[in-house]
Amino acid sequence: MGLALPPLPKSHYRCFAAGVALLVPTHFMHTILAKKQLSPNVTRLDLLAPRIAEIKQPGQFVMVRACEGAERIPLTIADSDPIQGTIALVIQAVGKATRELVALEVCDAIRDVSGPLGHPTELISSGRALCIGGGVGTAVVHPIAKALHARGVHVTSVIGGRSKEWVIFEEELRKCGDVIVCTDDGSYGRKGFVTDAAKDVLEAGGIDIVYVVGPVPMMRACANLTRPFNIHTIVSLNPVMIDGTGMCGGCRVAVGGETKFACVDGPEFDGHKVDFDLLADRLQTYREFEQRANACADGKCNIRR
Ligand code: FAD
Ligand code: FES
Ligand code: MG
């Protein structure tokens, strides 16, 4: 007997007959329905993942494997549409696994998508929040800003990129509140780093909480910036994850002198307590292997649906 499914886009019905699930291999479940280049090395993929779309919460991520034999990597659920049964992954192509993913096209399927994983974001229910996103971190901060806005929190987002073409998710964040765009070269928005604009927002007063997602040096700088203001600052950590379920120890981080595993205890933590030196150091652990894998890769996943 078939399973009733939520309404799905037409493109899905080649896998399902009249909205009724047949015996379908699981890899058909993660078909890519839309692909969009957001910046020179950042791509958005919207894919079918109905059960994840239904239950995911801001701050959560999925473990993804592009094809059989590919590396499993963590990616944040940047957006979701429970009616369409889709989730959005926003991927910065930095190495072999991410290049394989962004090489996939509409109608290809991602082999494994496990989740949602990790603790949902600690959200305030009133007041003012400052959301800071750098690079692909802007897409990661988006579900947080969206959920805060839905609760009636006033959201100011400060987002940055090295130049105009690297700024992503501006439009989506404008739907959640005020947005200040910063570019390193001044080609768009305000010239300078996100910390400069964030400092002005903090000095103007009234901010109750700060959320930061971006490269480690940026998160460290933002945590140092908010410390004298004594404003609770949540950062989303990006250590190397392997299983994503707390068993391998790969994502070990130190927070307030205690060992934590980002996949099950995080990925979000109090930025004023994070040992950023250890995080930066551990992110370098496999650099030689990663460079070799990247050099050998042709950037294409050969196993297609
Ligand atoms: P590699 O060449 O293997 O590595 C490039 C760098 O990425 C490494 O130096 C290391 O710092 C990091 N990295 C490598 N392997 C892993 C791994 N298994 N887990 C984590 N980091 C790794 N990136 C996005 O583009 N979009 C996202 O939404 C996103 N969300 C994330 C959410 C979480 C909870 C975490 C922990 C990371 C997230 N990342 C995200 C980072 C992403 O997982 C890595 O960029 C990716 O794994 C790199 O794999 P690669 O083989 O392409 O590159
Ligand atoms: Fe293995 Fe977190 S990824 S313990
Ligand atoms: Mg890799």
Three-state SS at 239:
coil
Confidence (pLDDT) at 104: 96
What's the gap in Å between 129 CA and the centre of ligand 3? Answer: 34
Q: How many CB atoms are located within 10 Å of the residue 173 CB?
A: 26
Biggest CA pair distance of the chain: 61
Residues 6 or more apart whose CB falls under 8 angstroms from that of 227 comprise 233, 272
Clarify whether residues 54 and 105 are in a common domain: yes
Is ligand 2 within 6 A of the CB of residue 20? no
187 located within any domain: yes
What's the helix, strand, coil split of the chain in %, to 5? 30, 30, 40
132 located within any domain: yes
Domain boundary (189, 213, 236) is at 236
Nearest CA to ligand 1 atom 39: 75
Ligand of minimum distance to the alpha carbon of 283: 1
Domain boundary (117, 143, 165) is at 117
DSSP 121: P
Clarify whether residues 18 and 113 are in a common domain: yes
Clarify whether residues 112 and 137 are in a common domain: no
CA distances from 278 to 75, 95, 216, 219, 220 (A): 21, 22, 11, 14, 12
Domain boundary (117, 143, 171) is at 117
Is ligand 1 within 6 A of the CB of residue 243? no
Nearest CA to ligand 2 atom 1: 248
Residue 107, domain extent? 11-117
Q: Which ligand 1 atom sits closest to the C-alpha of 293? A: 2
Q: Within 13 Å, how many C-alpha atoms sit on residue 63's CB side? A: 16
Q: Could you report the average pLDDT of every consecutive run of 10 residues in the chain (305 residues)?
A: 41 41 54 96 96 95 93 95 96 94 95 96 97 94 96 97 94 96 94 96 97 96 97 96 93 96 97 94 74 63 45
- Could you tell which of 251, 260, 283 is best to mutate to test the pocket of ligand 2, judged by most ligand atoms within 8 Å of the CB? 251
The letter for the amino acid at 202 is L
Asked whether 211 and 138 are in contact (CB, 8 A), the reply is no
Confidence (pLDDT) at 297: 63
Q: Which residues pair with 255 in a beta bridge?
A: 258, 274
* Angle, helices 276-283/216-226, rounded to nearest 10 degrees: 180
Clarify whether residues 113 and 22 are in a common domain: yes
Confidence (pLDDT) at 112: 93
Alpha-carbon gap, residue 168 to 185, rounded angstroms: 16
244 located within any domain: no
What's the gap in Å between 246 CA and the centre of ligand 2? Answer: 4
Confidence (pLDDT) at 29: 76
Strand 177-183 to 154-161 pairing: parallel
**Alpha-carbon torsion, ordered 34, 38, 40, 44, to 10 deg:** -40
247 located within any domain: no
Task: Please provide the DSSP assignment of 212-223 as one string.
Answer: EES-HHHHHHHH
Is ligand 1 within 6 A of the CB of residue 75? yes
CATH code of residue 25: 2.40.30.10
Q: Which ligand 2 atom sits closest to the C-alpha of 247? A: 4
178 located within any domain: yes
Clarify whether residues 105 and 135 are in a common domain: no
* Number of independent structural domains in the chain: 2
Ligand of minimum distance to the alpha carbon of 286: 1
Clarify whether residues 147 and 112 are in a common domain: no
Clarify whether residues 139 and 231 are in a common domain: yes
Clarify whether residues 74 and 107 are in a common domain: yes
CATH code of residue 197: 3.40.50.80
Clarify whether residues 144 and 80 are in a common domain: no
Clarify whether residues 170 and 79 are in a common domain: no
What's the gap in Å between 258 CA and the centre of ligand 2? Answer: 16
> Which segments of the chain does DSSP mark as H helices, in order?
50-55, 96-102, 137-150, 170-174, 194-204, 216-226, 262-265, 276-283, 287-296
263 located within any domain: no
301 located within any domain: no
Clarify whether residues 28 and 83 are in a common domain: yes
What's the gap in Å between 261 CA and the centre of ligand 2? Answer: 6
275 located within any domain: no
Quick one: which of 102, 128, 117, 126 has its CA closest to 41? 102
pTM of the model: 0.88
Is ligand 1 within 6 A of the CB of residue 17? no
What's the gap in Å between 74 CA and the centre of ligand 1? Answer: 6
Asked whether 7 and 15 are in contact (CB, 8 A), the reply is no
Clarify whether residues 65 and 165 are in a common domain: no
- Could you tell which of 94, 100, 104 is best to mutate to test the pocket of ligand 1, judged by most ligand atoms within 8 Å of the CB? 94
